[in-house]
């Protein structure tokens, strides 16, 4: 409540009461889709029907970089992060990627490398953990984003939880747009059993899974 400003409060109430009759529609200029980014935004759709065609290791590298790649000094990355604290941990569940043995991998942004977590194809188990969304298992790769909340909350307190959730949305959109640029499709999945996903991916106890991002070629 604003104290000592009755005139301001009275004016705000009047504006709120009369806003609808006084509103005017303004027609905006048509947005050109000639630019590559505009085209990608227009074409972005969730893909849930994947072809059996393997994904190239180069395409996977591009998706991982789009999610958490280093773009400047001081480890600044492709997606914004509150306080540049980067609480997200990126994993990938590879099943059909050329040049990569099926398994669960941890992406290390500073080195742009993959570290083996579990050397076996766990896509079916992941689909089960995602409330039996069987279509997930057909994607050649599924990126998984988890969070170490303390990296952000130790500076921002409880508000940091919100910042982490905002950040994971930035990252997911980067992945979707990069998938489109590569001619691939992707989807975003938030419906899953947290504990089950942690077990399937072999995540540390303090890494909370937040998002699953399957990607691959569209079924023709």
Domains and CATH numbers, the chain: 50-216 (3.40.109.10)
pLDDT < 70 regions, the chain? 1-22
Nearest to 48 by CA among 137, 123, 171, 169: 137
What is the C-alpha separation between 101 and 136, in angstroms, rounded? 19
Express each pLDDT in 113-163 by its tens digit: 999 999 999 999 999 999 999 999 999 999 999 999 999 999 999 999 999
Residue 220: predicted pLDDT? 78
Full-model pTM: 0.87
Q: Would you say 79 and 167 are in contact if contact means Cβ atoms under 8 Å apart? A: yes
Q: Would you say 32 and 143 are in contact if contact means Cβ atoms under 8 Å apart? A: no
Residues in the chain: 220
What is the C-alpha separation between 145 and 192, in angstroms, rounded? 13
Q: What is the crossing angle of helices 57-68 and 159-181, to 10°?
A: 150
């Amino acid at each position: 409540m604003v104290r000592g400003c009755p005139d301001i409060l009275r004016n705000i109430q009047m504006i709120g009461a009369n806003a609808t009759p006084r509103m005017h529609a303004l027609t905006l200029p048509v947005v050109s889709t000639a630019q590559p980014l505009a085209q990608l935004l227009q074409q972005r759709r969730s893909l849930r029907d994947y072809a059996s065609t393997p994904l190239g290791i180069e395409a996977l590298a591009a998706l991982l970089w789009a999610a958490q790649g280093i773009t400047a000094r001081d480890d600044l990355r492709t997606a914004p992060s509150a306080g540049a604290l980067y609480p997200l941990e990126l994993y990938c569940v590879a099943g059909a990627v050329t040049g990569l043995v099926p398994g669960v991998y941890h992406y290390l942004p500073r080195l742009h490398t993959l570290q083996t977590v579990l050397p076996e194809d766990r896509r079916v188990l992941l689909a089960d953990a995602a409330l039996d969304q069987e279509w997930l298992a057909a994607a050649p790769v599924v990126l998984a984003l988890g969070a170490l909340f303390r990296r952000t909350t130790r500076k921002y307190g409880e508000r940091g939880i919100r910042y982490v959730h905002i950040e994971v949305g930035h990252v997911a959109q980067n992945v979707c747009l990069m998938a489109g640029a590569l001619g691939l499709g992707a989807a975003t999945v938030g419906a899953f059993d947290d504990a089950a996903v942690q077990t399937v991916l072999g995540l540390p106890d303090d890494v909370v899974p937040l998002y699953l991002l399957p990607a691959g070629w569209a079924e023709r």
